[in-house]
Each structure stands twice: as C-alpha cells, then as structure tokens.
Amino acid sequence: MKAKHQRLVLIVIAVIALIAAGLLAAYALRNQASYFYVPTQMVEEPPAVGQAVRLGGMVQAGSLQTLADGVTVAFVVGDGDNTVPVRFTGILPDLFVEDSGVVAEGRLGPDGVFVADNLLAKHDENYVPRELEEMTEHQRAKVVAEAEAEAAQ
Amino acid sequence: MHGFANPKRFLALAKWLTPLLLVSGIVLSAIGLAWGVLNVPPDRLMGDTVRILFIHVPAAWLGMGGWTAIAISSLVFLVWKHPLASLAARAAALPGAVFTAVCLATGSIWGRPTWGTWWVWDGRLTSMLVLLFLYFGYMALAQAVAREGGSSRIPAIFGLVGAINIPIINRSVVWWNSLHQPPSITMGKSAIDPVFLWPLLIAVVGFSLLFGGIVLARMRALLADIQADARLRRKALGNEIA
C-alpha cells in the first residue's frame, strides 16, 4: 500500500469515528438540547411546579380568549395528542395567532395551568404571499391556469 | 488531481476565472436581492419582513459552504499533500466567517419582529454561533502557522474536526425542538411559494459565484505573498554571500 493510500484510509477512519461520536453526542442530547417541551411531554412527565420551563406547540383554533382584566389572555397549546392550558399577561407578538406555533416561557402552576412570563411566536416553514393566501383553492387554480394559458400563447 | 498542483497552471486559470466569477456573482446577487427586496409581495404572516430571507439564506448557505470547502481542502492536503489545497482552505476562511456573521446578524434582526426576541439559545442558533467561533479559531491557527512557522497539518486537522458541526447545524431543527423553523426546501420539495423561491435561488447562485471569486482572488494574493517572500529571502542570502 502506498503512503498516500495509507493516509487516506487513516483519515477516512478518523473522520468516520469523529462523525459517529458527534452523532452519538447529539442523539444523547436530543431531549436536553430541545428548546421547549411539547404538550405530550408536559402531560406525561410534568416538570416540578414552579420550575422555569418552556412549552411549545400550536395555539388551538378557537381557544384564544381575553380575560376580564383586558390584558390577560388564555389559550390552549396542543400538539395533536395532548393539550395544556396557558395564561399570559402582557403584549402579544405580531405573529401570535390561533392555529400557529408558539413557545411560552414560564412555569406550570399547581392547578395545571401553564403561566407564561413571555411568549415567542414560531414561524413555520411555509412562505405564502398574502394575495394567494386570501384566495380559495378554486380561485387559485383559475389564476394559475390563466397564467399558464397566457404563457402558452 | 496534480494537474493544478503546479501554481503556474493554477494562476493561468485563476487569472481569467477570478474576474468572471466576481462579475457574474455580483450581477446575479444584485438581481436576486433587488427582485427580493423590491418586487416580491408581502408574506401572509410576516409581511415585508420576509425580504430578509433573500440575504439570510444565501449567507447561511455560504457560511456552511465555506467550512465544507475548508474541510475538503484539508482532506486533499492531508492525503495528497496538494500544496494549493492548504492555500484554498486559508482563503475560504475569511469570506466564510463574514457570511456566517451576516447570517447571524440578519437572523437576529429577523427574529425580533417575527419571534419577539433577538436571540434564543436553541439548537440552530447556538450551532451557527459555534461555527463563527470555529472560523475565528481556524483563522488564528492558520495565521500563526503561516507567520511563526509550523506544520500546515495542524490547521488542516482542525478544519476536518470542525466539519462535524456542519451536519449538526443542518439537522439541528429536525433533531431538537427549536424556535427556528424546520427546513423549507427538502429533497426537491419546497414549502416556499415560487414568487419567493426564484429570487432566492438567483441570490444563492449569485452569492456562491461571488464566494468562489473571492476565494480565488485570495489564493492569488496568498501565492503572490509567498513568491515575494521567497524572492526577498533569496536576495538577502545573495547579499550575505557577496
């Protein structure tokens, strides 16, 4: 075996070992490195009452309501399987709407309600222009068909 | 592989390829950015803030691409002792670091209105910050070796080891719950509407060409430096003998 090939084999083995080590570390970290709990985790293994944690999930449609004092909002965060009720007093971020992602920083109260000190809105991977969003599926198909017919001419 | 190990042949190629890459890169980047900033409708949720996409994503792509280039060059240098490979790695470090910094800065500016915070310590943001620090470490190491003397293998090994961070950045939003969105473009599928996707692709290609041009220009400068050094040394030796 030439020295060149020896070096290549040695380095490839070293890099593979390194990547394996890195992946194992990342895998072991998968819970600790998560930025927030999802509702299922919070229901199955609830954190200690009063412990500062983050809760992330979707704001359930129709669950958002403003309480009598006018500055406190209550809503339900769900992940499809489980839900956690949340209360928050303060200014809501612009992107905070029903049916969209949210990360709440706060603590679980003794009554099972998550009391948030801070809300962060989570943007998903979809980028859709406003005009298209407001159209129905049918209108959208029509616009696309018209554009295609125009291009074909 | 060794065809371009000859600096003369490399310089002849780089001489016309450098301006070609720089000019086409600047033109395409300008088209992509202008299109994205001026001629794209607002996003359904983010409104006009979506325009940061067209600089944030290309910068992130090249921040990671820069280290990938360092890692591949380091591998070529370590295995084949290709002399230009270690120069290529050194040349890619500074533009890679700049793009990483641009990605972090624009991401932070984007995060304030969108998420409601400038910075969070989630997996994606943290691993990207680690990449910036890796660049700083690599540049300091490569410069120390070039200036003080020492084996070029040391920065090359650092470049290879640091590459472990690249798949971690890429997968961070999939492995861990994060505030950062999951990938929009995966295996030929895109969750980005075509009106945003086209200018984005143009900007990414433009930034990449620009990156290639900058790396070639820096390699030429480094080679010229080495030649000037060698000439001065020869002259000094000649004086001593005379």
Neighbours of B112 (CB within 10 A): 13
Q: Establish, for the pair of chains A and B, how many residue pairs have beta carbons separated by less than 8 Å.
A: 122
- Cβ separation of B184 and A120 shorter than 8 Å? no
Chain A CB contacts of B163 under 8 Å are 15
Task: Judge if A52 and A93 occupy the same domain.
Answer: yes
* Domain, as residue range, for B109: 51-180+197-241
The values of phi and psi at residue A102, to 5°, are -145, 150
Chain B CB contacts of A7 under 8 Å are 78-79
In chain B, which residue's Cα lies nearest the Cα of A98? Answer: B45
Read off the tokens for A46.
């609830």
- Chain length of chain A: 153
Read off the tokens for B26.
């600047």
3-state secondary structure B45-87: CCEHHHHHHHHHHHHHHHHHHHHHHHHHHHHHHHHHCCHHHHH
Contact call for residues A53 and A108 (beta carbons, < 8 A): yes
* Domain, as residue range, for A28: 1-33
Could you give the CA distance from residue A108 to residue A97 in angstroms, rounded to a whole number?
22
Is residue B123 in some structural domain? yes
pLDDT, position A139: 62
pLDDT, position B1: 52
A122 → closest Cβ in B121, B179, B184: B179
Chain A CB contacts of B178 under 8 Å are 34-35
* Residue A136 predicted with pLDDT over 60: no
In chain B, which residue's Cα lies nearest the Cα of A97? Answer: B45
Instruction: Say which amino acid occupies A36.
Output: F
Task: Judge if A28 and A44 occupy the same domain.
Answer: no
Which of A123, A4, A115, A11 shows the shortest CA–CA distance to A58?
A: A123
Task: Judge if A5 and A75 occupy the same domain.
Answer: no
pLDDT tens figures, A1-19: 688 888 888 888 988 898 8
Is residue B112 in some structural domain? yes
Is residue B151 in some structural domain? yes
Is residue B68 in some structural domain? yes
Could you give the CA distance from residue B207 to residue B211 in angstroms, rounded to a whole number?
6
Task: Judge if A44 and A28 occupy the same domain.
Answer: no
Instruction: Count up the domains in chain B and report the number.
Output: 1
* Residue A148 predicted with pLDDT over 80: no
Is residue A149 in some structural domain? no
- Cβ separation of B182 and A18 shorter than 8 Å? no
Q: Which helix (H) or strand (E) holds A54?
A: strand A52-59
- Cβ separation of A22 and B168 shorter than 8 Å? yes
Task: Judge if A73 and A28 occupy the same domain.
Answer: no
**Residues in Cβ contact with B200 at an 8 Å cutoff, skipping those fewer than 6 apart:** B32, B36, B53, B54, B57, B58, B192
pLDDT tens figures, A74-128: 999 988 888 899 999 888 877 788 888 899 989 988 888 999 988 888 888 888 8
For chain B, 242 residues long, give each residue's pLDDT as a single digit of tens: 555 567 788 888 999 999 999 999 999 999 999 999 898 888 888 888 889 999 999 999 999 999 999 999 999 999 988 889 999 999 999 999 999 999 999 999 999 888 888 998 888 999 999 999 999 999 999 999 988 888 889 999 999 999 999 998 998 888 887 889 888 888 778 888 888 999 999 999 999 999 999 999 999 999 998 889 889 988 888 876 65
Is residue A46 in some structural domain? yes
* Residue A65 predicted with pLDDT over 90: no
Contact A69/B at CB under 8 A: no
Task: Judge if A85 and A66 occupy the same domain.
Answer: yes
Chain A nearest-CA distance from B130, in A, is 14
B123 → closest Cβ in A14, A23, A33: A33
